[in-house]
């Protein structure tokens, strides 16, 4: 890692990174640490870990918590991501994105939005579908503002066209956040971290 505050290179062990679902020390100290290199410790084998993602389990034809051959899991994950335009392909305009741009918001159960899919997320709180909120706030697939907008396949993915600037993309994202907040009283959080020089 490059530590921008200390102007020095650092090595962090996994435990130092504070990894959690869509969270880490990198997100809690935005812009400070820049990843330069990653080393993965993979377990050898031919069978996956338990599958906990419902859409992936359905694609594989296994129950949540079941396992499948690793090769099948790899192909299923790539197929799901490719179907949403989230596998880089120079010929695919929808792949010009950082993936899902907003996280699913966790709100008090009393603040759940009628009609919005939700899942239990702890004591008295639920996780809402950010995709549903974005779409029902008027930003369906292929919503454009100049050279930026939503993917034609997945409204949570914000895409760019040649010549777009980061400022245009962030302004569009801010517009989505403000519109969702105004319509549903829920504030979306960005998934990618913007790092400024």
pLDDT of the residue at 102: 94
| The token pair that represents 46 in the structure block | 């031919």
Query: Would you say 156 and 103 are in contact if contact means Cβ atoms under 8 Å apart?
Result: no
In the chain, where do the E strands start and end? 2-3, 8-9, 33-34, 97-100, 106-108, 118-120, 125-128, 144-145, 148-150, 157-160
Q: Model pTM?
A: 0.75
Q: Is residue 192 part of a domain?
A: no
**Alpha-carbon distance values, 14 to 8, 28, 38, 39, 165 (Å):** 19, 15, 10, 10, 34
Q: Which residues pair with 97 in a beta bridge?
A: 159
Say if residue 149 is in the same domain as residue 167: yes
Residue in this structure with the two tokens 């930026």, named with its chain if needed: 148
Query: Would you say 151 and 97 are in contact if contact means Cβ atoms under 8 Å apart?
Result: yes
Active site residue 4: no
Say if residue 64 is in the same domain as residue 21: no
What's the number of domains the chain is made of? 3
Say if residue 8 is in the same domain as residue 75: no
* Edge-to-edge strand ranges of the sheet holding 97-100: 97-100, 157-160, 148-150, 144-145
Say if residue 23 is in the same domain as residue 75: no
Active site residue 129: no
Q: Is residue 132 part of a domain?
A: yes
Q: Which of 20, 55, 83 is at the close of a domain?
A: 83
Say if residue 119 is in the same domain as residue 68: no
Say if residue 22 is in the same domain as residue 53: no
pLDDT of the residue at 197: 61
pLDDT at 138 over 80: yes
Active site residue 100: yes
Which one is catalytic: 100, 118, 151, 155? 100
Which one is catalytic: 22, 49, 144, 183? 22
Say if residue 79 is in the same domain as residue 97: no
Say if residue 23 is in the same domain as residue 51: no
pLDDT at 168 over 70: yes
pLDDT at 104 over 90: yes
CA–CA distance, 146 with 197 (Å, rounded to integer): 25
Half-sphere exposure of 48 (CA within 13 A, CB side): 22
Domain span at residue 20 reads 2-34
Q: Is residue 88 part of a domain?
A: no
pLDDT of the residue at 98: 74
Higher pLDDT among residues 164 and 85, named by residue:
164
Higher pLDDT among residues 182 and 26, named by residue:
182
Say if residue 144 is in the same domain as residue 179: yes
Torsion angle defined by CA atoms of residues 177, 179, 183 and 187, in that order, rounded to the nearest 10 degrees: 10
Q: What's the chain's average pLDDT? A: 90
Q: Is residue 197 part of a domain?
A: no
Q: Which helix (H) or strand (E) holds 183?
A: helix 166-184
Say if residue 98 is in the same domain as residue 29: no
């Amino acid at each position: 890692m490059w530590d921008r505050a200390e102007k020095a290179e650092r090595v962090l062990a996994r435990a130092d990174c504070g990894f959690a679902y869509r969270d880490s020390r990198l997100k809690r100290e935005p812009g400070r640490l820049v990843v330069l290199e990653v080393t993965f410790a993979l377990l050898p084998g031919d069978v996956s870990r338990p599958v906990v993602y419902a859409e992936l389990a359905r694609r594989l034809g296994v129950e949540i918590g079941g396992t499948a051959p690793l090769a099948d899991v790899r192909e299923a994950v790539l197929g799901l991501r490719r179907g949403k335009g989230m596998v880089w392909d120079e010929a695919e305009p929808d792949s010009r994105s950082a993936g899902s741009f907003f996280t699913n918001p966790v709100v008090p159960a009393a603040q759940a939005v009628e009609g919005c899919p939700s899942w239990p997320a702890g004591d008295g709180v639920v996780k809402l579908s950010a995709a549903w909120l974005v779409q029902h706030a008027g930003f369906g697939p292929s919503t454009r503002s100049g050279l930026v907008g939503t993917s034609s396949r997945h409204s949570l993915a914000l895409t760019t066209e040649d010549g777009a600037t980061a400022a245009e993309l962030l302004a569009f994202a801010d517009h989505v956040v403000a519109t969702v907040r105004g319509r549903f009283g829920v504030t979306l959080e960005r998934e990618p971290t913007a790092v400024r020089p």
